[in-house]
Amino acid sequence: MIAFFMLLAPIGASGLAQDVPPVAPPGSATRLQDISAALVLKRVPSGGAGEPSPEEIAARIQVLRRDSVENGDPAARRRASVAAANLVLAHQAAEPATKLFLGVADAGDRAELRKAAEEAQTLIRNALAELNQPGEGGQDADRDLRRLAKNLETLAETYLACASDDPPSIETIKSLLARLGVLSESDDPGLSDAALIWSAQLALSTPEVLSVMDSLPLAWSEPEANQRVSGLYLRLKRCELLAHRGGHVAALGLLNRLEEEAPSWFSGAESGLALRAVALFRLRVTTGWESSVSDMTSDAVQVWYKQRKDALAARITEGGKITMPLVDPLVTPSMR
């Protein structure tokens, strides 16, 4: 590992000559915007029986939306509202949220994420308004539904904060982190992972050093088989938070270790998706490292950074189609 850190450190022209990565071929995407434009997100099956297709999920959301308005049974109407909000946050927001996690979301992605969060908020508020009416919400089932609705409300507000064109205030961040901290203790793995991933994303929106990284799993620890994708992104976020604190070299060392471990968590072609995601984070951390020292580097060192970024971009774009794993930020099985 010490040798690897020495390899990463661009200390002078003599060191560069010993480690010159292959230069990316002409036309390779070396800018994050180019990678974002060509990115294709692929859903990786969790291995669960009867996992619904995207088309089935979209149809289910439509049915739930209709029931949330037209069903004559108030209890069924409330449950449909919360279930629809859950699926909107879990699936309708999945693509823009994944791009946000990958660090390549553009204005359109952020707008799409805000739209999903606002739709979920409307559904949740409708359910809570009924639950808070006199004579309603007293049954155990309704108390459980209110708890689920409040959990989803926290996540929807977090989506909005992270997707905002203006960074949220530190007060907003800390308030949401406190609420997400409670959700991270849930025995529902989907909800717990969602809380941790979004906590990390929130922490990246402020220069203040927050303790979120301590709650994330170690970069090289193997996730549960049914949490491979969310587990991968949690570990990538841990590396990104370390770089955010100024530990770019350490973050790159962890990403190197993750690149060795992650393929064994996936099967067949899915391993390639994971490796591309790791390479993208390596590119982003390298770019951030270069920016942090740009005023102090020589021309030779700047060449080193360019060659490193070109090599990573070539790896990401190899084969012409940039495909990475899609992560569902939230799936509450009981609400499907």
Strand positions, DSSP E, the chain: 39-43, 322-326
Q: Residue 82 class from Cβ within 10 Å (0-12 exposed, 13-18 middle, 19+ buried)?
A: buried
Answer yes or no: is 202 within a domain: yes
Answer yes or no: is 14 within a domain: no
Torsion angle (degrees, nearest 10) of CA 301, 304, 310, 314? -160
Answer yes or no: is 133 within a domain: yes
Distance CA 240, CA 237 (A): 5
Q: Do 325 and 277 meet the contact criterion of CB atoms below 8 Å apart?
A: yes
Answer yes or no: is 13 within a domain: no
| Total structural domains within the chain | 1
Cα end-to-end distance, the chain, whole Å: 45
Answer yes or no: is 315 within a domain: yes
Answer yes or no: is 81 within a domain: yes
pLDDT tens digits in sequence order for the chain, 336 residues long:
323 222 233 323 333 233 333 333 434 445 677 888 889 998 887 655 456 777 888 899 999 999 999 998 999 999 999 999 999 998 889 999 999 999 999 999 999 999 999 999 999 999 999 888 776 555 667 888 999 999 999 999 999 999 999 989 999 999 999 999 999 998 888 889 999 999 999 999 988 878 898 899 988 899 988 888 999 999 999 999 999 999 999 999 999 999 999 989 998 888 999 999 999 999 999 999 888 887 777 888 888 888 888 889 888 888 767 899 988 766 555 554
Answer yes or no: is 276 within a domain: yes
Which residues pair with residue 39 across a beta bridge?
322
Residues 6+ apart with CB under 8 A from 117: 89, 93, 156, 157, 159, 160, 163
Answer yes or no: is 322 within a domain: yes
Residue 207's domain comprises 2-8+19-335
User: Is 0.75 topped by the overall pTM?
Assistant: yes
